[in-house]
Amino acid sequence: MHWINWLIVGVYLAVVVVDGLRRTRGTTNIEGYFLANRDLPWWAVGLSVMATQLSAVTLIGTTGQGATDGMRFVQFYFGLPIAMVILGVTLVPFLHGAKVYTAYEYLERRFDAKTRSLTSLLFLLSRGMSCGTIIAAPSVVLSSIFGWDLVLCVALIGAPTVLYTVVGGVQAVAWADVKQMFVIAFAMLAIITILIIRMPIPLDDALHIAGAAGRLQVFDFSFDLSKTYTFWSGILGGTFLMLSYFGTDQSQVQRYLAARSVDEARSSLLMSAYWKIPLQALILLTGVLVFLFYLFQPPPLLYNPTHSAQVEQEQPVVFADLQARYATAIAARQVAAREAATIRHGGDATAISTAVEKFRTTEAGVTAIRTEALAAAEKASGESSRDVNYIIPRFVLDQLPLGFAGIFLAAVLAAAMSSIAAELNSLSTATVVDFYQRWLRPVASDAHFLNVSKVATAVWGVFACVVATYAATLGSLIEVVNRFGSFFYGSILGIFLLAMIPRVRALGAFIGMLCGMGAVAAVAFGAPEISFLWHNLIGAAVVVAVGWVLSLGSAAPTPATGPRA
Amino acid sequence: MPRREHAAYFPDMTPQFRSTLRRVLAMQVAALALLWWLQSHYAA
C-alpha cells in the first residue's frame, strides 16, 4: 500500500488516541469513568450507539454480502425501529430513572441479587468472548490481504483501542465513536461516488442488470421458519433481537445511561430508528455496485489472496484450468451484460427477455466456476474458503485511486475500534459494579474504584486480544460460546419484561429465566432448521409466561422495588 | 393494568415525543417504499 494511504491511517489513529487520552481530565470517580457523569448530549450518544453496533464485520461482511447475495439482508433490520420505539417508552425511562450503572443492577432492585448476578455473569461470558471475535474478524482479513502476521494485525486494532478506553473511559469511547462514525460514513460515500463515476454504462441500465441478477430483491414474504432473512423474521424475530440487544446488553445500555435525561436517552435511540435501515441499505447497495463494477472488469477468481496462492501452489494444473475457464466465462458474462443493458433502449420485449436470460446463464456459469475454486481452496487450506469478507478490501486496494485505500482502512479500523471500546467499557462496568463492588468491596474511596475500573478494562482488553490471536485455533470454542450466548439473549429480555409487570416476584422470574434458556436450547438442538432470529422471541415468551404464571396470586411489589426505586 | 398504574410505568409520553414517533414512522414507511420501488422497478 502506498505511503500516503498509511499516512491517512496513521493520522486517524493518532487523532483518536490523543483525543481519547485528553478525555481523562476531570474524571475522579466511576460515575465519570463509566457514565460521563450522565452528561453526554443525545446526538453524541446516538452516534455512539450506531458506531457500537456497526462493527468491522458489518462494514466488510455486509458489503460483501450485498455483492454476492443482494439486498435481502436489510430485512434483518426491519424490527429495529419498532424495538427502539418500544424501548423509548418502556426500558429507557426505567433504567435511566433508576440511576443505575448497569442494566443488571436494576434487576436486584426489582427482584434479587441472584437474578442480577446471573444475568451479569451471562453478559460477561458471552461478550468477553465475542469481543475477541470482533477483533479477530478484521485482523484475519488484514493479515491475509497484506500478508502480515495475525498478532501484528490484532495489535494494530487492539492496542490503541485498549489504550484510549483504559485511560479515557466512556468519555473517550463515546467521542471516539462520534469521529469514527463520520470516518465510516465518509468512506462509504466516497466508495459509492467512485463506483458510480467509474461504471462503464449508465447507472439506470446497470441497476436493471442487478435486478436481473436478483441482487435488488429485498422483500421475501414467505413465512418459512428455516429461512433466516424474511420480512416476518425481520419484523417479529428482529424486533425481539433488537429489544434484547439495545434493551438489555450492557454495551448498548451504558451508552444511553450516559445521556443527560430520559428524553435525550430516547432521542439517541431514535437516531438509530431513523437511520439504521437507510444506512444498511446503502452498505448493501455498495456491495451491489461492486458486483456491477466487476461485470465490466475482470474480478479475482478467489478474493482471499492467501487461499489463491495456496491453490496455485498445491494444485497448479487445477488452478490454471480454473483461471482459463473463469476468464472465458467472465468475458461471456461481460458481453451478455452489455447486450442486456443496450437492448433495453430499442429492443422488443422478446429480445429483452432473451438478452436477460442469456445474462443469467452466463452469470450462473461464473458462479459455478467460483464454487469449484472455493472447493479447491477449502481443500488446499484446510479451512473455510468463504471469501465474502474479502470482496470489498480487494476491490478498494486493487481498483480505487490513491488515498481511498487509506480512508477505507481507517474506516475498517474505526468500525472495529468503536465496537471493541464499547464492549471493553461495558465489560469493565459489569465486573466492577455487579461483582467487585457488590460482593467483594462495597465501600472504598472513589480513587480506589476508579483504579480498579481501569485495571478491569485493561484485563478485559488483553483477554480479548489473546482470544483474537488464537481465533483460528479457538474457532470451535468461540462458536460454542456464541451459540450458548444466543440461548439466553431472549431470556434476559424476558426478565426485563417481567420487571415491568408489577405482580411478578423474584422466584418466579428466576425460574422463568432458567426455563426460557432451556426452551431455546431445546429448540436450537431439537429443531436446528428454525432460524436463530426466532430464538429470542421464543426465549422471551417462555420467560414471561413462566414467570407470570408462577407469580399468580402474589401481592404487588412495594413501591421500593418498583421501577422508580 | 389500571390506568393510573399504567401511567406510572409508561411515563412521559409528551406531545414532543409523540411527534418524534410520527416522524420515525414516516421515515420508515418512506424507506420501505423506496426499497419496494427499487425491487419492483428494476426487476427483470
- Which residue in A45, A127, A131 sits closest to A88, CA to CA? A45
Give SS3 for A216: coil
DSSP string, A419-452: HHHHHHHHHHHIIIIIIIIIII-SS--HHHHHHH
Give SS3 for A259: strand
pLDDT tens for A247-289 read 999 999 999 999 998 888 988 998 888 889 999 999 999 999 9
pLDDT level of residue A1 (50, 70, 90 thresholds)? confident
Instruction: Average the pLDDT over A362-368 and give the result.
Output: 95
Q: Chain centroid to CA A104: how far? A: 23
Measured between CB atoms, does B4 come within 8 Å of chain A? no
Position B7 pLDDT exceeds 50? no
Q: Name every residue in A having a CB less than 8 A away from some CB of B.
A: 71, 74, 78, 81, 84-85, 88-90, 93, 207-208, 210-212, 216-219, 262-263, 266-267, 270, 273-274, 277-278, 281, 356, 500, 502, 562-564
pLDDT level of residue A476 (50, 70, 90 thresholds)? low
Position A201 pLDDT exceeds 80? yes
Chain A nearest CA to B27, separation (Å): 6
Q: Which residues of B touch A500 (CB under 8 A)?
A: 9
Under 8 Å between Cβ of A540 and A489: no
- Spatial separation of the C-alpha atoms in residues A541 and A535, rounded to whole Å: 10
Task: Report in angstroms the alpha-carbon separations of B14 from A72, A88, A122.
Answer: 36, 12, 36
Position B9 pLDDT exceeds 70? no
Position A483 pLDDT exceeds 70? no
Which residue of chain A has the CA closest to B28? A274
Per the DSSP assignment, residues forming a β-bridge with A259 are: A40
Q: Chain centroid to CA A328: how far? A: 38
Nearest beta carbon to residue A277 from set B8, B31, B42: B31
Chain A nearest CA to B32, separation (Å): 9
Task: Please state, for a pLDDT cut of 90, what percent of chain B lies above it.
Answer: 30
Nearest beta carbon to residue A500 from set B9, B24, B44: B9
Nearest beta carbon to residue A273 from set B14, B24, B38: B24
What is chain A's alpha carbon radius of gyration, rounded to the nearest angstrom? Answer: 25
Put simply, the answer to whether B44 touches A267 (Cβ < 8 Å) is: no
- Spatial separation of the C-alpha atoms in residues A431 and A360, rounded to whole Å: 55
Instruction: Average the pLDDT over A392-405 and give the result.
Output: 90
Q: What does the pLDDT read at residue A558?
A: 46
- Spatial separation of the C-alpha atoms in residues A153 and A412, rounded to whole Å: 12
DSSP string, A44-62: HHHHHHHHHH--HHIIIII
Position A7 pLDDT exceeds 90? yes
- Spatial separation of the C-alpha atoms in residues A39 and A2, rounded to whole Å: 42
Q: What does the pLDDT read at residue A472?
A: 62
Task: Report in angstroms the alpha-carbon separations of A99 from A37, A91, A247.
Answer: 11, 13, 15
For residue A314, give every residue at least 6 positions away whose Cβ sits within 8 Å of its Cβ, in sequence order, or none.
A380
pLDDT tens for A409-449 read 999 999 999 999 999 999 999 999 999 999 999 999 999 99
pTM of this structure? 0.88
What's the per-residue H, E or C state across A20-45?
HHHCCCCCCCHHHHHHHHHCECHHHH
Position A294 pLDDT exceeds 90? yes
Q: Which residues of B touch A272 (CB under 8 A)?
A: none
Instruction: Average the pLDDT over A218-223 and give the result.
Output: 92
pLDDT tens for B23-39 read 888 988 999 999 999 99
Put simply, the answer to whether B10 touches A502 (Cβ < 8 Å) is: no
Under 8 Å between Cβ of A153 and A142: yes
- Spatial separation of the C-alpha atoms in residues A52 and A420, rounded to whole Å: 8
Nearest beta carbon to residue A219 from set B8, B36, B41: B36
Put simply, the answer to whether B38 touches A71 (Cβ < 8 Å) is: yes
Higher pLDDT, A59 or A75: A75
pLDDT tens for A86-121 read 898 888 888 888 889 999 999 998 899 999 999 999
